[in-house]
Amino acid sequence: MKQLFMTLVALFAITGLVSAEKIELKSPNGKVTITVNTDEKLSFSVNALGKTLIKECVVGMDITELECGVNPALSSKKKNSVKETITPVVPLKFSTIPNEYNELVLKFKGNYSVEFRAYDDGAAYRFVLNKKRFNGIDVKNETMDVDFGGDYRVYMQQPGSFKTSFEESYSNKLLSEWKSDDRFASLPLLVDCGDGNKMLVSESDLRDYPGMFLQGNGGKVTATFPKVPIEFGDGGDRSVKILQEAMYIARTKSVRSFPWRYFFIAEKDTDLAECTMTIRLAEPNCLDDTSWIKPGQVSWEWWNGATPYGPDVNFVAGCNLETYKYYVDFAAKYGIEYILLDEGWAKSTRDPFTPNPKLDLHELIKYANSKNVKIMLWLTWLTVENNFSLFKTFKDWGVAAVKIDFMDRSDQWMVNFYERVVKEAAANQLAIDFHGAYKPSGLEITYPNLLTYEGVRGLEYMGGCQPKNSLFYPYIRNAVGPMDYTPGAMISMQPEKYVSRRPNSASIGTRAYQMALFIAFESGMQMLADSPTQYYNNDNCTKFMADVPVTWDETRALMGEAGQYAVIAKRKGNDWYLAAITAEKEREIELPLDFLGNGSYNMHFFKDGPNANSQAMDYREGTESVTSSKTLKIKLTRNGGYAASFKK
């Protein structure tokens, strides 16, 4: 009888029937619990904040000769605890980040494993393969089917297809309203879990794999991915047409880890603005020397038409040497680190080696160097791909950074393009700004010369860029990493009065709102979008904005609600900066200054003027000596703002 029992146990183990069990993993403080179920389908649930936040999440990968997660046969399990500190090369929120979690590694028959991490503020998992196939494997699909356990409202960007610049305005729906035939959503996605609690869904360590999208499905959410493109056609100077796709989403190595899928848990909205989950899950910096990487502000000419004017502009403005020397002089005066030459600096958008004959680029670089200003050049991704030697050429010329545009995809081929670019750029000590780009997914941590991404409805949308949409950015888009929004407009209007046309470009929102964005929004390259003429005419505002750092030692989101308003304080050394911004509702805020350190501070502030509700350029400026015991009273008009610095 004993022998028969042992035989049956062995048989069940072979078929995987006895491997089913529930395994619990708690976060270091015990507030987040992940329960993994290794039944017919691998799944997990998440409990936090006293309730179930994920009722069930079924996960799996369909790869060559194996369906990972289907009838999983557990061979081993191991738990581990990690407590460390991350020091980002480019600190956009914090100069040091605690990274503490408990980890569960489940190994399954078939040479794959799944790693889970329980943080005090979230949950994450990823698949790991160890199949050792010489020819690699095809990933036909990946499964992530999430039942949040309630009919929650979700906030998201919904592109029309996998070809997207990721610049859609935010929409929102109840999960029950998000049907399987509706548009899918790009990451990050924000879930309102009720009781003021939120959950942010995104990914990190995205490499050699497509970016994830999410699709509504009868009250649940399921993952979907672009397939690998295998045949291309001509699409002009900016892109290509995809003529044929493979039947798989990735062809890759058979020994590797896959991207982390994470669920950041926010007890209140302000927690989202301090989120560092993408950083904590990313592969660490791989560059030996990062001393040459210089985050900073950028004077950008496209939005303002490159047409400065006035008594000191005694030349015909445009894409010529005189104009760009003028921009260099402006940048040098205010201590702005870069000027960006956007489309037009080259004779042809397809040729990165022949500058516009009206522009002596080499003379300009020499002139900029003499003023301690760096040159940044714009290119389409297709031109980069067709001329990959340009990084070495640009280094030889003395170019410091490259803005690369119009990728508009996140399939495996394009994700690999991003990494090839930042790797080659780093080898030639060039910084990168990706436009027409998907959200930050950890590559900027591994290669910190990647200073910012677009993928946001920014100021270039003119009247289509409104505070009611931009007030989601601290809580969703900046929650996962830097964004190139391009603030700094000096012509400000309320939406019902808005009219604008380059070169007299204008923004929606008050002057104080526009200035506060330099503090509220994070980017390793923060653009000043307006003309030097406008900035010279508003010297006091310009000096304040140019003084705002782009890297920070500490970030504190003090008050706020996603899509409504935000009050954020940031510290650089001993100095603090404060931003308050609101959307369509006027607000009166009483803010204790207890975030300040000991001693007295000189507060320099800009606030909405009494007529900013109608004339959005109305503002008031002032200074005051304050201490941490003071309570600040802030009145924000609709689409308004407040910006202040505190210096000892």
Catalytic positions, written as ranges = 405, 460
Name the token pair of 452. Answer: 């910012």
- Of 568, 547, 468, 565, the closest CA to residue 509 belongs to 468
Concatenate the DSSP letters of all residues of 76-104 into one string: EEEEEEEEEEE--SS-SS-SSEEEEEEEE
The tokens describing 360, both together, are: 């002596």
* Three-class SS state of 598: coil
**How many degrees, rounded to 5, is the angle at CA 476 between CA 470 and CA 478?**
80
From CA 163, how far away is CA 241, in angstroms rounded?
A: 10
Query: How many other C-beta atoms are found inside a 10 Å radius of the C-beta of residue 7?
Result: 10
Q: Where are the alpha helices (DSSP H) in 306-461?
A: 321-334, 361-370, 381-386, 390-397, 412-427, 443-446
Give the integer Cα–Cα distance in Å for 557 and 266. Answer: 12
Q: Rounded to an integer, what distance in angstroms lies between the CA atom of residue 273 and that of residue 266?
A: 10
First to last CA, the chain: 83
Task: Calculate ∠ Cα 365-547-499, nearest 5°.
Answer: 85
- Alpha-carbon span 415 to 427, nearest angstrom: 19
**For residue 503, is the peptide bond before it cis, meaning its omega torsion is within 30 degrees of 0?**
yes
Q: How far apart are CA 17 and CA 20, in angstroms?
A: 6
Collapsed DSSP state (helix, strand, coil) of residue 197: strand
List, in order, residues 6 or more apart from 6 with CB less than 8 Å away: none
CA 591 to centroid of chain Cα atoms: 28
Q: Report yes or no: 645 and 573 within 8 Å, Cβ to Cβ.
A: no
For residue 57, give Cα distances in angstroms to 37, 38, 125, 541. Answer: 10, 12, 11, 50
Q: Hey, which residues does 576 pair with through a beta bridge? A: 571, 646
Distance of CA 394 to the CA centre of its chain: 27
The tokens describing 535, both together, are 């900035």
Cα(472)–Cα(361) distance, rounded to whole angstroms? 39
Strand, coil or helix: 369:
helix
- Rounded to the nearest angstrom, the gap between the alpha carbon of residue 204 and the centroid of all alpha carbons in its chain is 11
> Residue 574, SS3?
coil
Which residues have a Cβ under 8 Å from the Cβ of 261 and sit 6 or more positions away?
59, 124, 125, 126, 144, 201, 203, 212
Give residue 395's identity as a one-letter amino acid code: K
Q: Are 169 and 155 in contact (CB under 8 A)?
A: no
Residue 411 CA to residue 417 CA, distance in Å, equals 10
Angle at 11 between CA 6 and CA 12, to 5 degrees: 100
Question: In the block, which residue shows the tokens 């060559």?
Answer: 64
- Tell me how far apart the alpha carbons of residues 487 and 512 are, in angstroms, rounded to a whole number: 12
